[in-house]
Amino acid sequence: MKLTDRIDIGGGVAVSPAALGAMNFGTTTSREDAFAVLDMYVGAGGNFIDTSNNYAHWAGTGDESETLLGEWLESRGCRDDVVIATKVGFDRHGTGAGLRREQIEYWAGESLRKLRTDRIDVYYAHTDDTSTPLGETAEAFASLVREGKVRLLGCSNFDTWRVADATAEAERRGLPGYRVMQQRFTYLYARSDMAPKYIFNETAGRERLRFLYDRKMPLVAYSSTARGGYADPSRLPPDLIAGKRYDFLRMTACELGVGAGALAVAWMANLYRVPGMPRVIPLFSSSKPEHLKENLAGVELELSDGLLDELCRA
């Protein structure tokens, strides 16, 4: 597999097998470094860039990532060469939470303005809103699709049964539904005795993977490199289980002469080759171009069927 390969995720949208996250661009990652990382990713053949209308509000206002990305798109003149994904529905300093019609319409307009574009390629419901009727949310998203402002719809931080209900409601109304899911996922298993920070941002487990395979929905895996925990064990999130699976990954990566993070990326990018597993698109970010190289190398790392099976069974 190569970064220049393209995966059809529906609606005529084709993306590279790994996505670049822009969450910290413009806040903890400087404009200069963000531009360099974006240039490197696209120069290497990547085209799938992920942001949100609230990134990174805990380190700024929430406008920084989309605004910087819009400036980069305009300065490089490459809008038609990339797939831009953004989101709506999460809180940003006490505003923006929810998937009501007025919320979706307002923030879609704000995202288009900041991104300096006329369309959003993939528009995610950033987290579930159980207080708003599914039909209202579906109608609001469908209006954006009809107007040409959005090409494809996705969901993030939803329980699988709610995705099923939302899909059924959209189908009942003859409206476009969610076609791609973004959720926490990495090589290591999550601890079952620790709740996630937000109610719906569980790490994807076997049941969710089976659901996605059945529904033919790709999984865009955020936190795919465990916040740098494969390169530096001290950074490993406490809600992930290290143990023998972690040890096997690091040992095997050493034998292959690559970083453990690169091997984890390779495993996710190749998981679709395992019977019953969905297409997984690892999503990762970097604050420096040199930090991006290892993850990109993982996309093109060749895994034999035997090694892929060993990694799955570890």
DSSP-assigned beta bridge partners for residue 95: 92
Among the listed residues 55, 124, 246, 272, the single catalytic one is 55
For residue 282, give both structure tokens: 């690892």
Secondary structure letter of residue 204 according to DSSP: P
- Euclidean distance between CA atoms 193 and 96, whole angstroms: 31
For residue 149, give both structure tokens: 């402002």
- Euclidean distance between CA atoms 64 and 111, whole angstroms: 11
Determine what percent of the chain falls in helix, strand and coil, rounding each to the nearest 5: 45, 20, 40
For residue 58, give both structure tokens: 């805990």
For residue 90, give both structure tokens: 């999460």
- Euclidean distance between CA atoms 212 and 312, whole angstroms: 18
Which of helix, strand or coil describes residue 300? coil
- Euclidean distance between CA atoms 303 and 300, whole angstroms: 9
178 flagged as catalytic? no
Q: Name residues whose C-beta falls within 8 Å of residue 190's C-beta, 6 or more positions apart in sequence.
A: 184, 202, 203, 205, 239, 240, 241
Q: How many CA atoms lie within 13 A of 297 on its CB side?
A: 15
Residue 291's CB is within 10 A of a number of other CB atoms, namely 17
The catalytic site residues sit at 55
